[in-house]
Structure 1
Amino acid sequence: MGRPGVPEKDFSGIICDLRGANVTEFNTGDRVFGIGPTSFREIAQGVLCEYALVKRDHIVKVPDNISLKDAACFPITGFTAYCFLVEKAELKKGDKVFINGGSGAVGVMAIQLARTIVGPTGLIVATCSPTKNDIVRNLGADEIIDYTSHVLPDFLREHYGSRPFDVIFDTVGSDHALYSNSPDYLTPSGLFCTIGMVEFGSTVWLVTKRILQLLSAMVVPVYLGGVPRRHIFESLTPTSSRMVAMAKLVEEEAFKAVIDSTYKFTDALEAYDRMMSRKVTGKVVIEVNDLDGVN
């Protein structure tokens, strides 16, 4: 019987040991943040522990103006927002962006980064529940849609059909109709991005159906009935250059940490209860050790 798995991928901490002669960019004592093992065979080797073994390509030094606690909020969420909005969508000044799931962990990063890029002439529209309106607006959203009161494709068609988006960033991924109807509110050259946090469903049929929908969105050409809009749904691989680029944005405060709540390591199960409540805005942080201020 194997050892129990360790969950979680986002982390920050202090390097206590280095392995490998080619690791020259880091030193013991460096404050770093990053992403734990991501391959399927390493899925149980998470970072919710006192000591974690991680790859050098998956970490980057924490900027001097950022605390370790705040730094732990960025690795996956900031990395995802950077890769999709900057690398994939090539977002630019003046663009119009729709972010589905504006109060979620990735959504709060995406809104801030999009605001920095599109500037005052751009448009950022995001969804959230009414209780999160002020938070999402303060992050940089120009217009907010209450997803609990509207059928999104219908609402977007009615209100944004005449001023379509350049990028749609779906951080929820639960409604294929949002993409299949996107020609009504996404420019012909626009990009529809879906990240991996998809609510597939609770039965084999629902899971199979959702997978087929995603595959269809990516590979079925228009002449065979495909949606005439580009679609991206992929797993993003951490690299040193990507991590450095993301850290630079953190240092420049292109986006800031949004912490919902903080728990001690001994109260980790309470942290999971909080996450499962679906009332979270931003990140839930678990402090294994309080290392801020440690030399």
Structure 2
Amino acid sequence: MKALKITQYGDIDSSLAFQEANVPEPGASEVLIKINAASINPIDLMVMRGEMKALKKLNLPVGIGRDLSGEVVAVGSGVSQYQPGEEVFARVGEDHVGTLAQYLVVDATHLAKKPENLSHEEAASIPLVGLTSYQALIQVAGLKKGEKVLIHAGSGGIGSMAIQLAKAYGAYVITTTSSANVDWVRKLGADQVIDYKKENYLDLLSDIDVVYDTLGQQYTMDAFKVLKRGGRVVSIAGVLDPLTARELGINWFFRKLIGLKSRPVLKQAKDKNAFYRMVIMQANGDQLSELSALYRDKIISPVVDKVYPFSQSLAAFSYLNSKRAKGKVIISLNSGD
């Protein structure tokens, strides 16, 4: 089979290459999937460039890609919930990364049945961004009906899904975006849209219940300026908090460094009696099934920007890297190449 792999750390053209590989066999708790479509995400670029080496150093070459939609080919001896021929989708666990391949084995607990009303390309757009926002907004922040939530970068892959998810849970959604995307994110369900090219959200907002920090750096610190006292900041791009660092199994030395780096943010949280948590998404088939129902019932719609054939995977990564995508970038393995 053909698979796209990271062969060395670096940029897109020097790091990624197609290689031939054997079709894997599923272990007892695994399922072999014929992949029809995969989406790509900023984390794939970060890993490729070596920006995640502090957390996990790769034994190159390795596969790339974490989202998939496809068809069950075979199941392990301990798997009874899936049968060959069923259509499924998943955000695979870190031990099974490599969805840009014609076949992949996946932990059965990370799978969910694909919504019947979606194509494989649409379904592949969901898992990582869906689970990330579900775990950040619903599981960790506990977003409630009627609460005000600020979601940065509403036109991106994460933002376009998070807006819809927050609305599905009855929140009042505020988002930031560029001038060209104001009307588009409003159609996704945003109640208030701030054009960051013309307005400063810090001048317009106050008493926000939940800030979903998707950008990090100064945005993490500034979240507390618009947050109500006792509010919640959940970040997917800010500094690690001590609890998340422990859950990741980071050794004591790096946790010490993380503690020093996170001190300014944690002080801001303490001064405002607020909650801060860095969310590292975990693959979870049960939660993905919950999300699947929202798509099946058309409460949330997939947001796909462009679909590339497998042979043009490097072009797809270049487009993702341009940061111009409105929604998700998909690679189709159904194109016959």
TM-score (norm 1): 0.80
Question: Using the alignment, how far apart are the partners of 2:224 and 2:260 within structure 1?
Answer: 16
Aligned residue identity for 2:279: E
Change (3 A) 1:174 1:66: same
Query: Shift of residue 181 of structure 1?
Result: 4.0
> Unmatched 5+ residue regions in structure 2?
1-6, 8-58, 240-254
Query: Shift of residue 50 of structure 1?
Result: 0.2
| Runs of 4+ deviating beyond 6 Å | none
Query: Shift of residue 267 of structure 1?
Result: 0.8
Q: What secondary structure is seen at the aligned counterpart in 2 of 1:167?
A: strand
Are the equivalent residues in 2 in contact too, given 1:180–1:227 (CA < 8 A)? no
Equivalences for residues 216-235 of structure 1 within 5 A: 216=263, 228-235=273-280
Change (3 A) 1:71 1:239: same
Say which of 181, 189, 200 aligns to 2:230: 189
Aligned residue identity for 1:74: I
Which has the larger share of strand?
2
Question: Using the alignment, how far apart are the partners of 1:62 and 1:214 within structure 2?
Answer: 41
Say which of 44, 59, 62 aligns to 1:5: 62
1:70-89 Cα offsets, whole Å, 9 max, x none, are 10000001111111222122
Query: Shift of residue 3 of structure 1?
Result: 6.3
1:102-158 Cα offsets, whole Å, 9 max, x none, are 11101000001111222xxx52111111111121111011222222445x5xx32x3
Q: Verify: 1:145 aligned to 2:194, yes or no.
A: yes
Change (3 A) 1:107 1:197: farther
Equivalences for residues 101-180 of structure 1 within 5 A: 101-118=153-170, 122-150=171-199, 152=200, 155-156=201-202, 158-161=203-206, 164-175=207-218, 178-180=219-221
> Which residue does the alignment assign to 1:203?
none
TM-score (norm 2): 0.71
> Which residue does the alignment assign to 1:82?
134
Question: Using the alignment, how far apart are the partners of 2:160 and 2:60 within structure 1?
Answer: 36
> Unmatched 5+ residue regions in structure 1?
199-207
Question: Using the alignment, how far apart are the partners of 2:269 and 2:300 within structure 1?
Answer: 37
Aligned residue identity for 1:186: L
Question: Using the alignment, how far apart are the partners of 1:112 and 1:222 within structure 2?
Answer: 27
Query: Shift of residue 183 of structure 1?
Result: 4.0
Calculate percent identity across the aligned residue pairs: 30
> How many residues align structurally?
263
Question: Using the alignment, how far apart are the partners of 1:285 and 1:46 within structure 2?
Answer: 14
Aligned residue identity for 2:126: F
Question: Using the alignment, how far apart are the partners of 1:131 and 1:213 within structure 2?
Answer: 39
Say which of 109, 119, 122 aligns to 1:57: 109
Aligned residue identity for 1:142: D
Aligned residue identity for 1:108: S
When the two chains are superposed, the root-mean-square deviation of aligned CA atoms in Å is 2.7
> Which residue does the alignment assign to 1:30?
86
Question: Using the alignment, how far apart are the partners of 2:285 and 2:304 within structure 1?
Answer: 26
Are the equivalent residues in 2 in contact too, given 1:101–1:170 (CA < 8 A)? no
Change (3 A) 1:213 1:252: farther
